[in-house]
Chains A and B, each alone.
Chain A
Amino acid sequence: MPKDEFDFEDPFELNGMVVQSRDDTTREMAETFVEEFMRMSYSHKQILALFRNPHYLGPNLALQKHGEPSVRDLIAEVFARWGKVVTWPEHSSNRYEAAESPTLATGNRNAAGSAAMAEMDSAAIDPMGSPIPKLNV
Chain B
Amino acid sequence: MSNVLNWQLGRAMEYPYEAAYPDQQFAFIFNINRCIGCQTCTMACKSTWTFSKGQEYMWWNNVETKPYGGYPQHWDVKTLDLLEQANPGGQNWGGKPEDIKAPYGKFNGKTVFEAAKTFIGPEGANRALGYLPADDEWAAPNRYEDHPVGAEKGVKGQYFKGGELLPEHKTWFFYLARICNHCSYPACLAACPRNAIYKRPEDGIVLVDQERCRGYRKCMEACPYKKTYYRGTTRTTEKCIACFPRIEGKDQAGHGLPLQTRCMSSCIGHIRLQGLIELNQDGTWKEARHNPLYYLIHVAKVALPLYPQFGTEPNGYYIPPRWVSRPYLRQMFGPGVDDAVEKYSAPDRELLAVLQLFGKDQRICHRYEIKEGPKVFETEVRGKKFVLYNDTIIGYAKDGTKIIETTVEEPLHVRDAKHANSI
A contacts, CB < 8 Å to B: 4, 6, 8, 12-15, 17, 19-26, 28-29, 31-33, 36-37, 39-43, 50, 54-59, 61, 65, 81-83, 108-110, 112-113, 115-116, 119-121, 127-129, 133-137
Could you tell me the distance between the alpha carbons of A120 and B36 in the complex, rounded to whole angstroms?
23
Q: Which residues does chain A contribute within 8 Å of B120, judged by CB atoms?
A: none
Q: Which residues does chain A contribute within 8 Å of B162, judged by CB atoms?
A: 6, 8
Give the Cβ gap from A20 to chain B, nearest Cβ, in Å.
4
Q: Establish whether residues A13 and B171, one from each chain, have CB atoms under 8 Å apart when the complex forms.
A: no
Interface check B134, CB cutoff 8 A: no
Q: Establish whether residues A56 and B36, one from each chain, have CB atoms under 8 Å apart when the complex forms.
A: yes
Q: Establish whether residues B378 and A112, one from each chain, have CB atoms under 8 Å apart when the complex forms.
A: no
Q: Which residues does chain B contribute within 8 Å of A121, judged by CB atoms?
A: 414
Q: Which of B47-64 contact A (CB under 8 A)?
A: none
Q: Which residues does chain A contribute within 8 Å of B270, judged by CB atoms?
A: 40
Known A-B contacts A19-B67, A29-B323, A134-B157; A115 and B172 likewise in contact (beta carbons under 8 Å): no
Closest residue of A by beta carbon distance from B347: A39
Q: Establish whether residues B159 and A26, one from each chain, have CB atoms under 8 Å apart when the complex forms.
A: no
Quick one: which of A55, A83, A110 contacts B374, CB cutoff 8 A? A110
Q: Establish whether residues B322 and A28, one from each chain, have CB atoms under 8 Å apart when the complex forms.
A: yes
Give the Cβ gap from B139 to chain A, nearest Cβ, in Å.
10
Q: Establish whether residues A22 and B36, one from each chain, have CB atoms under 8 Å apart when the complex forms.
A: no
Q: Establish whether residues A113 and B420, one from each chain, have CB atoms under 8 Å apart when the complex forms.
A: no
Q: Which residues does chain B contribute within 8 Å of A8, judged by CB atoms?
A: 162, 165
How many pairs, one residue from A and one from B, have CB atoms within 8 Å of each other in the complex? 151
Q: Which residues does chain B contribute within 8 Å of A134, judged by CB atoms?
A: 157
Give the Cβ gap from B184 to chain A, nearest Cβ, in Å.
30
Quick one: which of B67, B77, B164, B167 contacts A12, CB cutoff 8 A? B167
Give the Cβ gap from A16 to chain B, nearest Cβ, in Å.
8
Known A-B contacts A4-B153, A28-B323; A81 and B159 likewise in contact (beta carbons under 8 Å): no
Q: Establish whether residues A83 and B412, one from each chain, have CB atoms under 8 Å apart when the complex forms.
A: no
Q: Which residues does chain A contribute within 8 Å of B412, judged by CB atoms?
A: 40-43, 116, 119-120
Could you tell me the distance between the alpha carbons of A129 and B414 in the complex, rounded to whole angstroms?
7
Q: Establish whether residues B166 and A21, one from each chain, have CB atoms under 8 Å apart when the complex forms.
A: no
Could you tell me the distance between the alpha carbons of A6 and B163 in the complex, rounded to whole angstroms?
8
- A-B contacts, 28 of them at CB < 8 A, read A6-B148, A6-B166, A15-B73, A17-B68, A19-B67, A19-B171, A20-B327, A21-B325, A21-B326, A21-B328, A24-B172, A26-B172, A29-B172, A32-B321, A43-B412, A57-B147, A58-B173, A61-B168, A82-B388, A110-B375, A110-B376, A113-B377, A116-B411, A128-B420, A136-B157, A136-B159, A137-B159, A137-B161
Interface check B158, CB cutoff 8 A: yes
Could you tell me the distance between the alpha carbons of A56 and B69 in the complex, rounded to whole angstroms?
16
Closest residue of A by beta carbon distance from B168: A61
Q: Establish whether residues A23 and B325, one from each chain, have CB atoms under 8 Å apart when the complex forms.
A: yes
Could you tell me the distance between the alpha carbons of A15 and B78 in the complex, rounded to whole angstroms?
14
Q: Establish whether residues A33 and B171, one from each chain, have CB atoms under 8 Å apart when the complex forms.
A: no
Could you tell me the distance between the alpha carbons of A57 and B229 in the complex, rounded to whole angstroms?
28
Give the Cβ gap from B176 to chain A, nearest Cβ, in Å.
12
Q: Establish whether residues B328 and A113, one from each chain, have CB atoms under 8 Å apart when the complex forms.
A: no
Closest residue of B by beta carbon distance from A33: B36
Closest residue of B by beta carbon distance from A54: B149
Other than the given A6-B162, A21-B326, A109-B376, 7 more pairs (CB < 8 A) read A6-B166, A17-B77, A28-B323, A40-B412, A58-B36, A59-B36, A112-B373
Closest residue of B by beta carbon distance from A59: B36
Could you tell me the distance between the alpha carbons of A55 and B146 in the complex, rounded to whole angstroms?
9
Could you tell me the distance between the alpha carbons of A30 and B287 in the complex, rounded to whole angstroms?
37
Give the Cβ gap from A19 to chain B, nearest Cβ, in Å.
5
Could you tell me the distance between the alpha carbons of A41 and B150 in the complex, rounded to whole angstroms?
28
Q: Which residues does chain B contribute within 8 Å of A23, judged by CB atoms?
A: 172, 325
Q: Which residues does chain B contribute within 8 Å of A137, judged by CB atoms?
A: 149, 159, 161, 163-164
Could you tell me the distance between the alpha carbons of A17 and B67 in the complex, rounded to whole angstroms?
7
Give the Cβ gap from B340 to chain A, nearest Cβ, in Å.
14
Q: Establish whether residues B377 and A129, one from each chain, have CB atoms under 8 Å apart when the complex forms.
A: no
Interface check B324, CB cutoff 8 A: yes
Q: Which residues does chain B contribute within 8 Å of A58, judged by CB atoms?
A: 36-37, 173-175
Known A-B contacts A15-B144, A59-B36, A113-B390; A41 and B379 likewise in contact (beta carbons under 8 Å): no
Q: Establish whether residues A115 and B325, one from each chain, have CB atoms under 8 Å apart when the complex forms.
A: no
Quick one: which of B170, B409, B415 contacts A61, CB cutoff 8 A? B170
Could you tell me the distance between the alpha carbons of A78 and B259 in the complex, rounded to whole angstroms?
35
Known A-B contacts A25-B324, A108-B377; A115 and B169 likewise in contact (beta carbons under 8 Å): no
Q: Which residues does chain B contribute within 8 Å of A82, judged by CB atoms?
A: 377, 379, 388
Known A-B contacts A8-B165, A61-B170, A83-B379; A113 and B411 likewise in contact (beta carbons under 8 Å): no
